[in-house]
């Protein structure tokens, strides 16, 4: 079998801890500003046309969650007074305070951000699609932040299918059939972020577009203008990134993107939050 190289590096990350009450905390990691090529090259295995054309994007510094939002964090904020809608205190199918919250719609995630903003007086929101990919890649240009391939020792995805349970020269693996507690694999990227590949799909702020023709190059969310915000909320599919425990490895690539209705809820869907630096 050919040798498979996975990169393991040690870095220090700057972050702050948000106190959500009752002993629940939220680690927010500083992502430095910079530029990167968003999307996938034409030769990347498993790519889709919706990941092109590759284009240079410049990102301003921001803070992003070290992990996807957990069930404990979700409950701490979902117990607060509603801003626009009610939230289910315990929506997840796979129970565990340190597992990522799932069965979360885009609308639920936005409501969570609004309540977190009200509580902390800091502006929380979903990441733009460009911010998410920049944070995931952490300076890399390979399909995954740890290299050219992926294994189920590094991420939670479906690795058992005979034809598509492996990626490139990587081996097949296991299929856990459930989420895992955040940080289980103890493999962070160069920015200090965990679980960017697999476990749960993560919502972004952007409306879905079939490709990157006309996409912004400043890292902002790509949204369509309508008469009011609620039109935006309901009438456009939203972007999800990162793949999940249920998906095959090619979906776990840094450039992979899918779109779903804003009210869509599933056992493989969660999110992480962003806070503007400064």
At residue 12, does pLDDT exceed 70?
no
Reported as a pLDDT band with limits 50, 70 and 90, residue 15 is confident
258: in domain = yes
Range of the domain at 179: 15-276
> What pLDDT is recorded for position 14?
87
142: in domain = yes
- Residue 238 belongs to what H/E stretch? strand 238-241
At residue 167, does pLDDT exceed 60?
yes
Q: Read off the pLDDT of residues 58-101 as tens digits, 9 standing for 90 and up.
A: 999 999 999 999 999 999 999 999 999 999 999 999 999 999 99
271: in domain = yes
Count structural domains, the chain: 1
> What pLDDT is recorded for position 278?
64
153: in domain = yes
Alpha carbons within 13 A on the beta-carbon side of 108: 27
At residue 171, does pLDDT exceed 50?
yes
What tokens appear for 147 in the block? 């290299």
Q: How many CB atoms lie within 10 A of CB 186?
A: 7
Q: What rounded mean pLDDT belongs to the chain? A: 93
5: in domain = no
At residue 11, does pLDDT exceed 90?
no
> What pLDDT is recorded for position 8?
43
- Spell out the alpha helix ranges (H) of the chain: 71-78, 106-120, 129-137, 229-235
How far from the centroid of its chain's Cα atoms is residue 19's Cα? 22
DSSP string, 144-204: BTTBS---TTTSBS----TTTSS-TTPPP-----S---TTTT----TTS----SBSSEEEE
At residue 7, does pLDDT exceed 80?
no
pTM: 0.93
How far from the centroid of its chain's Cα atoms is residue 61's Cα? 17
9: in domain = no
Rounded to a whole number of angstroms, the CA Rg of the chain reads 18
Q: Read off the pLDDT of residues 125-166 as tens digits, 9 standing for 90 and up.
A: 999 999 999 999 999 999 999 999 999 999 999 999 988 999
221: in domain = yes
Cβ contact 56:36 at 8 Å:
yes
The CATH number of whichever domain residue 87 belongs to comes to 3.90.1580.10
User: How far is it, in rounded angstroms, from Cα 162 to Cα 173?
Assistant: 10
Of the candidates 141, 133, 134, 130, which has an alpha carbon nearest to the alpha carbon of residue 221? 130
100: in domain = yes
What tokens appear for 155 in the block? 């991420």
């Amino acid at each position: 079998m050919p040798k498979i190289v996975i990169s393991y590096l040690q870095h220090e990350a700057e972050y702050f801890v948000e106190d959500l009450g009752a002993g629940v905390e939220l680690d927010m990691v500083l992502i430095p500003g910079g530029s990167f090529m968003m999307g996938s090259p034409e030769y990347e295995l498993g790519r889709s046309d919706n990941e092109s054309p590759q284009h240079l994007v410049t990102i301003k510094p921001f803070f992003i969650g070290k992990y996807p939002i957990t069930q404990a964090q979700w409950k701490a904020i979902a117990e607060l007074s509603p801003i626009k809608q009610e939230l289910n205190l315990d929506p997840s199918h796979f129970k565990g305070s340190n597992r990522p919250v799932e069965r979360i719609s885009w609308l639920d995630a936005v409501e969570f951000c609004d309540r977190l903003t009200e509580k902390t007086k800091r502006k929380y929101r979903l990441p733009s699609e460009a911010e998410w990919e920049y944070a995931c890649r952490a300076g890399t240009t390979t399909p995954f932040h740890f290299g050219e391939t992926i294994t189920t020792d590094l991420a939670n995805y479906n690795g058992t299918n005979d034809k598509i349970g492996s990626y490139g020269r990587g081996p097949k693996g296991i299929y856990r059939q459930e989420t895992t507690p955040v940080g289980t694999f103890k493999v962070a990227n160069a920015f200090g972020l965990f679980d960017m590949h697999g476990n749960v799909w993560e919502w972004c702020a952007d409306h879905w577009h079939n490709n990157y023709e006309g996409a912004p190059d400043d890292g902002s969310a790509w949204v369509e203008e309508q008469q009011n915000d609620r039109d935006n909320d309901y009438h456009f599919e939203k972007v999800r990134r990162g793949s999940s425990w249920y998906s095959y490895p090619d979906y776990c690539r840094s450039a992979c993107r899918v779109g779903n209705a804003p009210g869509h809820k599933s056992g493989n869907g969660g999110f992480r939050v962003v806070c503007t630096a400064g």
